[in-house]
Amino acid sequence: MSYPSLSLVLPSNPIPLSISHYNSVIRSHIHSHHPHLALLTFHHTLLLRSAPVPDEFTFPLLFKACATLSALREGAQIHCLLLKSPFVQTNNIYILTSLLNMYLSCGELDDARLLFETMPDKNVVAWNSMVSGLAKSGDMASARGFFDRMPITKNIVSWNALLAGYVRAGMWHEALKLFVELLRVPGLDPNEPTMASLVSAISQLGLLDLARKAHGYVVRKGFSLDGALGVSLIAMYTKCGSIGGAYKVFLSVPAKNVGHWTCMIGGLAAHGLAESALQLFSEMLSDGVRPNYVTFIGVLNACSHEGLAEEGSKYFHLMSESFDIEPGVQHYGCLVDLLGRLGRLEEAMELISNLRTEPGFVVWSTLLSACRKHGNVEIAEVAAKKLFELEPENGSSYVMLSTLYAETGRWEEYRRIRKTMDERGAVKVTGCSWIEVDGKVHQFVAEDMFHVSTQEIYHTLSDLKSNMRCAEFV
């Protein structure tokens, strides 16, 4: 008999059941990823005439279910029940830690802090819970503060909690610094979750040399690539510009899941290798791996980069017809980009009008960019109007439209848009490029004059231009 059916039998069971029986059912629901059924089962016990009294094993299970569901109201009610319980010690560290996790998971940081400070005996699990909970909330300063205050020996979970928090908050350099600190701790080695966070930080910074070292460490330690770590390594090499490195990792994964295939297809598409991406998608289907929502974003991106309108339309319809995946804004955005590249702007506009949800900034911006490329002022004005409504302080939309006006000789409209941009305080974020040289990352913007080696850089560029002209490359 399965556990769900067992819980349905409980209300009509003529034999009174002990709390241990109910604990088993509640635990099974949680392990089966049905926390709501766990709470319903407990609610049933409260309605029984001879209701069994919750014990020290019941409350941690219930708090875990509430934490999973972010069910603060139910969690607070169970907390009150705990305080009134005459048979359970309220200073039980196991119960208090699960209660602490519940408040942290529900975002009640003040209640969590108060509970933590009043806990009589704080073990490493309680400290780790505070670090992890604060990090997940984005309060990295407080998370680091608790991490540094830990009076007991930190375990790898402590380090992983803070490291993952830095990555989640976009503090990638801090993540690298913390990893270096970890390497200096005797008797403590990075594990798979550690490396997954490190790899994510390296991906965002584009540090290819460090990426290879991280990959080497993973191989030496014999960590499994069948799960998230393997996917992260593929993404890391892709973002660091080494599609060859990504493909080597992909081939080395013994049991590839949809994540590995999807990441590799997306990487090939992003690097302009559309034919290889579509070929890999075909191999994926042949291997019996079912694509997901994200897979088709990579496939449609490949079609867009290569200008494959018919193939793009085919895969777009394949999503819903063969795999029951409802196309989302990202998929429509890929098709708009594809049609825009081909100059089929009216079709792109019609596609957007058929969207069941608001297209969003990215889709309209993609259309506006295509209009500028092909000089279509009429549709550009429609797209720009939508963009001004969605993000009135985003200067990129004003710049694209005003540039189109200038390119088509509409100077009065150009001045009007520029004036509107100034009045609304809209700012265009300057694009930048990153390059790694000898392990150090350098950032550049167009016509940059602030780099410490500016004169040397421009002198080298001048020499390169002269050499290219002599070789008749320009």
Domain chopping of the chain, boundaries: 270-327, 328-429, 431-474
Mean pLDDT of 222-231: 94
Residue 412 CA, chain-centre distance (Å), reads 44
**pLDDT at residue 234 is higher than 90:** yes
Q: Read off the pLDDT band of 448 (50, 70, 90).
A: low
Q: For residue 452, name the pLDDT band (cuts at 50, 70, 90).
A: low
Residue range 212-236: mean pLDDT, rounded: 96
Helices 258-270, 228-239: crossing angle, 10 deg rounding: 0
CA distances 150 to 109, 144, 165, 324, Å, are 18, 10, 17, 50
Q: Go through the chain and tell me how many residues it has.
A: 474
Looking at per-residue pLDDT, the higher value among 248 and 25 belongs to 248
Tell me the pLDDT band of 4, cut-offs 50, 70 and 90. Answer: very low
Residue 92 in this model has a pLDDT that exceeds 50: yes
Distance between CA atoms of residues 97 and 81, nearest Å:
16
Give the global pTM: 0.78
Q: Mean per-residue pLDDT for 43-58?
A: 78
**Protein fold of 328-429:** 1.25.40
Is the pLDDT at 436 greater than 70, yes or no?
Answer: no
- The answer, yes or no, to whether residue 50 has pLDDT greater than 70, is no
Mean of the per-residue pLDDT values of the chain? 88
Instruction: DSSP letter for 394, please.
Output: B
Confidence of residue 204 (pLDDT cuts 50, 70, 90): very high
Residue 6 has what pLDDT?
A: 45
Q: Is residue 427 over pLDDT 60?
A: yes
Helix ranges, 150-271 (H): 156-168, 172-183, 192-205, 208-221, 228-239, 243-252, 258-270
Weakest-pLDDT range from 4-18, 169-183, 429-443? 4-18
Categorize the per-residue pLDDT at 451 as very low, low, confident or very high, splitting at 50, 70 and 90: low
Q: What is the mean pLDDT of residues 95-100?
A: 93
Task: For residue 52, name the pLDDT band (cuts at 50, 70, 90).
Answer: confident
Q: What is residue 3's predicted lDDT score, i.e. its pLDDT?
A: 41
The owner of tokens 């490190």 is 198
Query: Is pLDDT at 467 greater than 90 in this prediction?
Result: no
> Tokens 């998929």 sit at which residue?
331
Percent of the chain with pLDDT over 90: 70
Contact 254, 224 (CB under 8 A): no
110 closest CA partner among 144, 84, 85, 133: 133
Average pLDDT over residues 187-205: 95
Q: Write the burial class of residue 8 (CB in 10 Å: 0-12 exposed, 13-18 middle, 19+ buried).
A: middle
Number of helices (H), then strands (E), in the chain: 26, 2
Q: Give the pLDDT band of residue 7 (cuts 50, 70, 90).
A: very low
pLDDT at position 458 over 90:
no
The reported pLDDT for the residue numbered 177 is 96
Give me the pLDDT at residue 45, please: 77
